[in-house]
Amino acid sequence: MTINLQDNIQRVLVTGGSGFIGGCLIRHLLLDSHIQVYNLDKCGYASDHTSISKTLPLLGSQSRYQLLETDLVNERTTSEAVAYAQPDLIFHLAAESHVDRSIDSPSSFIQSNILGTFNLLQAVRLYWEQLSLERQHLFRFHHISTDEVYGSLGPTDSFSESSKYNPRSPYSASKASSDHLVNAWHHTYGIPTLITNCSNNFGPWQFPEKLIPLVILKALSLESIPIYGDGSNIRDWLFVDDHVEALLLVASTANPGSNYCIGGHGERTNLQVVTSICGILDKLAPKHQPYETLIKLVQDRPGHDQRYAINSTLINSELGWAPQYSFEQALETTVRWYLTNLEWCNALFLRNGYSGERIGTNITLND
């Protein structure tokens, strides 16, 4: 991947850099640039430093990377971390992100995604206001959000930068709130912000509570593969490397106050996604029966959005970005990666006390 950030950007702060997307972004920054990278992460249940640790020996010098372990809910340590890093650019990815967990424990999403973003914006405001005019002009605060803030689509529409906000889960409501905070701090205080809203990401190193890695692991264990409802819910899937490419492009070229929607042109029903995974596993790790026979329809998630889809015309026409990976190509790459990294998945399960059980509802599953 080519890093096209401006030459005078020397220091980058990534919040949530030990998460799935943040880790991918940091690996690319370390391997493909000479930028000093700071990772502000609370090291929660979904944080994992393994992929970055494996990258550091390839650099020759590990002095270009530093982990700043802090929780954005802590106003004082957040402000101290920003002041210490002295960033030219901030990628704000830190967030609680699993819809099912937000149904069980909405308070942690309000704290992390709303209060945490507020504390970060306040810290950035204090930091930015004391910079020289030259560095103020260079600085960017890039907030990474989700298409889920727009709610649920009918069969033919797609989300764009002008879509109305209509969040329908505690998670998406908390992310919508953080979007509005970032926009307000830009218009009220002049902070040079950027906002991107992406579709569902997937790829290597994703915490195995999310759909694609969870299905892979359940299939390999010959466990039932649960699909909510009738499996007709549609998501637009985006390979994580394509997403990171878009983030870097927006950060380096977009005007302050810009908002871009980033989609993968990978619309699939949940049943289609799971069936595709089973087909790949039949080829790569065959068992005595087709993996598809493990699929089981279960009671639907409360408030389950029917369809997401993103219109990426604006980022394509203005910045020239388009996804480079087809869904089929990226999905097989992902399945192959998990097949060779089962030990990492099992270690995460042991560390976090999660073994693939359903979360997000107290209702009884269908038999």
Dihedral (C-alpha) 346, 350, 351, 352: value to the nearest 10 degrees? Answer: 100
Which segments of the chain are extended strands (E)? 11-15, 36-41, 65-69, 89-92, 140-146, 193-198, 200-202, 225-228, 234-239, 259-262, 267-269, 295-298
Among the options 41, 96, 100, 148, which is catalytic?
A: 148
Cα 258 to Cα 164: distance, rounded to the nearest angstrom: 16
Q: Render the burial of 34-46: b for 16+ CB within 10 Å, e for the rest.
A: ebbbbbbbbeebb
- Is 338 an active-site residue? no
Structure tokens at 169: 């889960």
148 in catalytic set: yes
Q: Which of 297, 304, 293, 290 is nearest to 365 (CA)?
A: 297
Which of 38, 150, 171, 325 is labelled catalytic?
Answer: 171
The Cα-based distances of 298 to 92, 234, 253, 291, 337 in angstroms read: 35, 16, 45, 17, 28
In the chain, the N- to C-terminal Cα span, in Å, equals: 47
| CA angle (90, 137, 88) in 5-degree steps | 30
Which two structure tokens, joined as six digits, stand for 77? 């340590």
Give the residue from 205, 179, 195 showing the smallest Cα distance to 18.
205
Closest CA to 323 of 315, 334, 25: 315
- Nearest residue to 278 (alpha-carbon basis) of 207, 236, 223, 230: 223
Residue 227 contacts residue 190 (beta carbons within 8 Å): no
Considering 41, 48, 100, 147, which one is annotated as catalytic? 147
* Residue 61 CA, distance from chain mean position: 28
Active site residues: 147-148, 171
